[in-house]
Chain A
Amino acid sequence: MLKDIFTKTKKKKYATIPSETAKQDVPEGIMTKCPNCKKIMYTKELVKNLKVCFHCHYHHTMNSKERLVSFLDADSFEEINANMISENPLNFPDYIDKLEKDREKTKINEAVVTGTGTVDGQKIAVAVMDSTFRMGSMGSVVGEKITRAIEKADELRVPFIIFTASGGARMQEGVLSLMQMAKTSVALKRFSDNGGLIISIMTHPTTGGVSASFASLGDYNLAEPGALIGFAGRRIIEQTIREELPEDFQTAEFLLKCGQLDAVIPRTELKDKISAILSIHQPGGDFKWQEN
């Protein structure tokens, strides 16, 4: 009864020593520990700094919502095809369950969010991949949504901006995933031939089929610092060529050195830089000389 509530808790027989991991862990949410420099900081402050570590400038993963908020003008985003979802064309066991779980977890319906919005008042069509949903892998829905966003850009005659984050093709949709590479590239070509501007920003990670299609097809190919970007996986390459790869292999900085990128831009400068690129590509393209 009441007495039970006040009974002293049993004395512990053994002293408990917090494990190494428990010692370092901080309650989730309030504080965040940087996985790179291991320093701890307030989550709120970190988010305000676009999730870039104050100490080592490590770029923490951003989900699609955080990305849109950080990049577009407030309340300018209008989502399209929000409720498109995957089927199970290969009848892969557990696939539907896995999708449902991720929908529950991420509150988005697929690994890409698409729509229109403005950057400093300049209208764009945008696609933001989300690595928290099935590792951002590309199946039929990701391919179709990106294609429709490109078509939207073409229809509105506005630039198309894509943030990529993907582990590659989605295994569970087999060859259909592979074909999404062609689908999106074919759509980009039509848009490009109509004079459309394409800006690709590769974020961590951009690999496999995504890297070998729309991610590499921008008029401007940009990347965030430290992002992993490449076609084949590091382990596969090491096994194939039987030698160890350099530490910085397939990082954004490595690719910049190899001539594969226009620029590596810190997240905190991204919006301004892209806004400047957009302003150089005014719609219509006829500039008139103006005397100041």
Chain B
Amino acid sequence: MAGELEFERPVMELKKKIAELKEFTKTADVDLSSEIEKLEARLEKLEVDIYENMKPWDRVQIARHPARPTTLDYITYLFEDFFECHGDRAFGDDEAIVGGIAKFKGIPVTVIGHQRGKDTKENIRRNFGMPHPEGYRKALRLMKQADKFRRPIICFIDTKGAYPGKAAEERGQSEAIAKNLFEMASLRVPVICIVIGEGGSGGALALGVGNHIHMLENSTYSVISPEGAAAILWKDATQAKKAAESMRITAPDLKELGVVDLIIEEVKGGAHKDVKAQAAEIEEVLTHSLKDLMDLTEDQLIDHRYNKFKSIGEYSFLKEFIGVK
């Protein structure tokens, strides 16, 4: 099967063998049904073993899978009447971020998300889902519009990070990200963020100041890519696997650290195995989330966001005072 991942190879091989045997029994005169049954039982056990004990690095592989559903895939399944809006009204249209208006179960909403490409051609057009400043400014423009018309905002997070380029710096990458964090703080509408793939650094956070933050089971969210962390910490980018483990970037880790509200279960083997079923899982969580938040007043929503982020972080106090004085 195309796009199989290293850690799930035993499952794939066994599946292939079973299929071969089945094919063989069709033409040959021997009865192998008992063998096939045995193998199928083994497959079931193996699948449980592998998919329920996934290591952080396995999850990174799934999060990066070329066939992993993107923002636009989910938009197709989850929303009606999606109308895409382009451009930041100042510089250009960054296709690494898509956004627009739509209806979710009849409720008007604004949807924004990072957008990777499905093939090389599209990836070049969308800059592999790594936005430039104009992308964040487009997102902010749409959020302010949502605020004006009192529409809830749903953000899909799926980026390796902001694009590290010369032009991006010249046009104010830092300011664009900072402005989004700043302005999202005072939106008077519910903001729900869902990490669907890789959530990398400031580029991800620029769509991430939500009342609720949910994560797909096999997505990641981190301050830096495992490769980047390894390069900084051990001066060796090849130790990414080790970094993925020590940086605590998986959905269960983030739940434990108090960053994420809910983990959205994935289809066995990852969202790419069944997009429709995955969208249904997201739909359920989104429905609950929206219902909860739509009960809050505008001020309550802003306070809710303030308190959410204020509570993230761990610190303590020394007894003795050192201080600068």
Which residues of chain A have a CB within 8 Å of any CB of chain B?
Answer: 64-65, 68, 77, 79, 82-87, 89-90, 92, 103, 107-109, 113, 139-141, 143-144, 147, 169, 171, 173-183, 185-190, 192-193, 208-209, 211-217, 229-233, 236-237, 240-241, 243, 245, 249-250, 258-260
- Nearest chain A CB to B170 CB, angstrom units: 5
- Which residues of chain B from 292 to 325 have a CB within 8 Å of any chain A CB? 305-306, 309-310, 312-325
Contact B321 A83 (CB under 8 A): yes
**What is the chain B residue whose CB lies nearest that of A214?**
B178
- Nearest chain A CB to B165 CB, angstrom units: 5
**What is the chain B residue whose CB lies nearest that of A147?**
B310
* A–B complex contacts, Cβ < 8 Å, 21 sampled: A64-B324, A65-B324, A77-B325, A85-B316, A92-B246, A108-B323, A113-B323, A140-B314, A169-B223, A175-B247, A175-B259, A176-B314, A178-B202, A180-B313, A181-B205, A189-B185, A216-B178, A231-B164, A231-B168, A232-B168, A249-B166
CA distance A243 to B209 in the complex (A): 34
Contact B313 A179 (CB under 8 A): yes
- Nearest chain A CB to B239 CB, angstrom units: 13
In the complex, chain A residues whose CB is within 8 Å of the CB of B317: 83-85
In the complex, chain A residues whose CB is within 8 Å of the CB of B174: 211-212, 215-216, 229-231, 260
Contact B177 A212 (CB under 8 A): yes
- Which residues of chain B from 149 to 179 have a CB within 8 Å of any chain A CB? 162-166, 168-175, 177-179
Which residues of chain B have a CB within 8 Å of any CB of chain A?
Answer: 162-166, 168-175, 177-179, 181-183, 185-186, 201-202, 205, 208-209, 221-224, 228-229, 232-233, 246-249, 254, 257, 259, 305-306, 309-310, 312-325
- Tell me the interface secondary structure of chain A in the complex: helix
CA distance A259 to B233 in the complex (A): 34
Q: How many A-B residue pairs have CB under 8 A?
A: 210
User: A185-B178, A186-B209 known; 6 other A-B pairs, CB under 8 Å?
Assistant: A144-B315, A185-B182, A212-B173, A212-B174, A232-B164, A236-B228
Contact B310 A216 (CB under 8 A): no
Contact B164 A236 (CB under 8 A): yes
CA distance A79 to B175 in the complex (A): 29
Contact B175 A216 (CB under 8 A): yes
In the complex, chain A residues whose CB is within 8 Å of the CB of B310: 147, 183, 186-187
Contact B224 A171 (CB under 8 A): yes
In the complex, chain B residues whose CB is within 8 Å of the CB of A87: 314-316
In the complex, chain A residues whose CB is within 8 Å of the CB of B183: 189
Given the known interface contacts A190-B306, A232-B169, A258-B170, the answer about A169 and B315 at a Cβ–Cβ threshold of 8 Å is no
- Nearest chain A CB to B233 CB, angstrom units: 6
Contact A258 B172 (CB under 8 A): yes
Contact A190 B185 (CB under 8 A): yes
In the complex, chain B residues whose CB is within 8 Å of the CB of A82: 321-324
Contact A108 B177 (CB under 8 A): no
Instruction: Determine which of B163, B177, B248 lies in contact with A90 in the assembled complex, contact meaning CB atoms within 8 Å.
Output: B248
Contact A175 B257 (CB under 8 A): yes
- Nearest chain B CB to A283 CB, angstrom units: 22
Instruction: Determine which of A171, A183, A237 lies in contact with B223 in the assembled complex, contact meaning CB atoms within 8 Å.
Output: A171
CA distance A113 to B305 in the complex (A): 26
In the complex, chain A residues whose CB is within 8 Å of the CB of B313: 139-141, 143-144, 176, 179-180, 183
CA distance A197 to B248 in the complex (A): 37
Contact A189 B186 (CB under 8 A): yes
Contact A250 B169 (CB under 8 A): yes
- Nearest chain A CB to B190 CB, angstrom units: 16
- Nearest chain B CB to A24 CB, angstrom units: 28
**What is the chain B residue whose CB lies nearest that of A240?**
B164
Instruction: Determine which of B165, B312, B318, B324 lies in contact with A240 in the assembled complex, contact meaning CB atoms within 8 Å.
Output: B165
In the complex, chain B residues whose CB is within 8 Å of the CB of A240: 163-165
CA distance A141 to B228 in the complex (A): 23
CA distance A241 to B164 in the complex (A): 8
Instruction: Determine which of B164, B201, B224, B318 lies in contact with A85 in the assembled complex, contact meaning CB atoms within 8 Å.
Output: B318
Given the known interface contacts A175-B259, A209-B202, the answer about A230 and B169 at a Cβ–Cβ threshold of 8 Å is yes
CA distance A79 to B247 in the complex (A): 33
Contact B166 A237 (CB under 8 A): yes
